[in-house]
Amino acid sequence: MKNAWERFQFVKRLGRGGFGEALLVRDQNEGGRPVVIKVPHDDDTERALIQELINNAVLHASLKEMYHPNIVKYLGFDKYESHYVMVMDYVKGTDVRKIIGPFNRDRPPMDLNRAVRLMRHVCTGLVAAHNARLQHNDIKPENILVQEEGDLAKLTDFGVSRIRQSTVSSGTVAGTFPYMAPEMWHGQGCFQSDLWSVGITFYEMVAGRLPFFADNVGDIKQKIDRDDPVPPGELNPRVDRRIQQLILKALEKNPRQRFQSAQEMLSALEADVDGQILQARELFREGKAKEAEALLQKLLDFHPSEAKLYLTLGDFYNRNFRWAEGEKVLQRGVANCPQHARLHFCLALVLANLNNRREAVPVLERAVQLGLSAEQQVHAERLVEGWRARGE
């Protein structure tokens, strides 16, 4: 067993934030696996980290158990060069701040389709976090990483704002001022406060500027409390009425008038995808298969982590005995949605139809591990048992 001080081999500095410095290191206890460690800025921050770990052991256990493709995995804490550090998965990519540019100046908006896609990822991760009773408290572009592979957004730094808050005088609040909901300024944050921060970030991405900004904290707070945001569609004509209304609903001053859950906000973001899936199915029924395929393929380009699109297109191919095309689209789906049980289940059936049961068995076993519906679970277990009995 290596000593704690030997565990991490420095690779490079990644940047600095409100908590401390982020370093890319190799974890010698995990065969040199690249991970990120967050090193506290100073002794006060380190003491706050230690106190947080003592006082909120249950929270940190929940963070360690949280595995979701849209949340950066928290791996715990250890020591590096005699300092206590937080350890997280390394995500090869960049953060949204680097993509959209500095917050204190106007700049070109992000491509709307990409912005919508990334915010759907963020909301998907937030649904899982809120279901586990984990509140973020500091959602902003710097805390949304975009993985290079698949252009997948991931929320990071859960719990860091709590540690930063405890290093300053009592009466201060968690969060980053331009992204904080009105109630956060009074220390009354709630799950809807996270949705406000998502709305601010979404606005900034599509409008090219923050909805509330000033040169000092007092003026920022006054604008958040009193001003209505300029509708983002007035700053970027590509922002349609549906997206504009969604953003403005997230920015209601009263948390009771916002989306009441991350799932509700996610459903609003997904409404357009569901409508186009229905349109594709109608085209299939009308015998316009090429048009339906083209529509679904276009949707997949915009929403590569949307499992229902792969399932819809894969189902069409399979119903028409186009097994090879079905396998191709479902393999892509499994690669982009590795935690989706039904995609694995459908891929295994396609592989079986292609007489490739040897490869189908581990895929079907993975589907069972991920958790299918009760009926599918029984069916899958019987198939695996039968295929193994025949030595396939």
Domain CATH for 21:
3.30.200.20
Do 109 and 84 lie in one domain? The reply is no
Question: Rounded CA gap, 272 and 261, in Å?
Answer: 19
Do 118 and 258 lie in one domain? The reply is yes
Q: What is the pLDDT of residues 292-327, one digit of tens each?
A: 999 898 888 767 778 899 999 999 999 889 999 999
pLDDT higher than threshold 80 for residue 277: yes
Phi, psi of 63 (to 5 degrees): -65, -40
Do 41 and 138 lie in one domain? The reply is no
Domain residues for the domain of 222 are: 93-266
Do 233 and 120 lie in one domain? The reply is yes
Q: Label residue 274 by pLDDT band (50, 70, 90).
A: confident
- Are 232 and 203 spatial neighbours (Cβ–Cβ below 8 Å)? yes
Q: Is 82 exposed, middle or buried (0-12, 13-18, 19+ CB in 10 A)?
A: exposed
**End position of a domain, from candidates 89, 107, 140:** 89
Most confident option among 128-137, 192-201, 264-273: 192-201
Per-residue pLDDT, 15: 81
> How many residues are there in the chain?
392
Do 147 and 246 lie in one domain? The reply is yes
Please state the domain count of the chain. Answer: 3
Task: Tell me if 297 is assigned to some domain.
Answer: no
The residue written with tokens 């060069």 in the block is 81
pTM: 0.71
Do 75 and 198 lie in one domain? The reply is no
Q: What is the pLDDT of residues 135-167, one digit of tens each?
A: 888 899 999 999 988 889 999 887 665 554 444
Q: What is the DSSP letter of 106?
A: -
Do 124 and 180 lie in one domain? The reply is yes
109: left (phi over 0), alpha (psi -120 to 50) or beta: beta
Per-residue pLDDT, 81: 83
Q: How far is CA 28 from CA 79, 279, 363, in A?
A: 13, 52, 31
74: left (phi over 0), alpha (psi -120 to 50) or beta: beta
Per-residue pLDDT, 160: 61
Q: What is the pLDDT of residues 15-52, one digit of tens each?
A: 877 677 888 999 988 889 999 988 887 777 677 767 76
Task: Tell me if 317 is assigned to some domain.
Answer: no
Q: Label residue 387 by pLDDT band (50, 70, 90).
A: confident
Q: Label residue 172 by pLDDT band (50, 70, 90).
A: very low
Do 111 and 73 lie in one domain? The reply is no
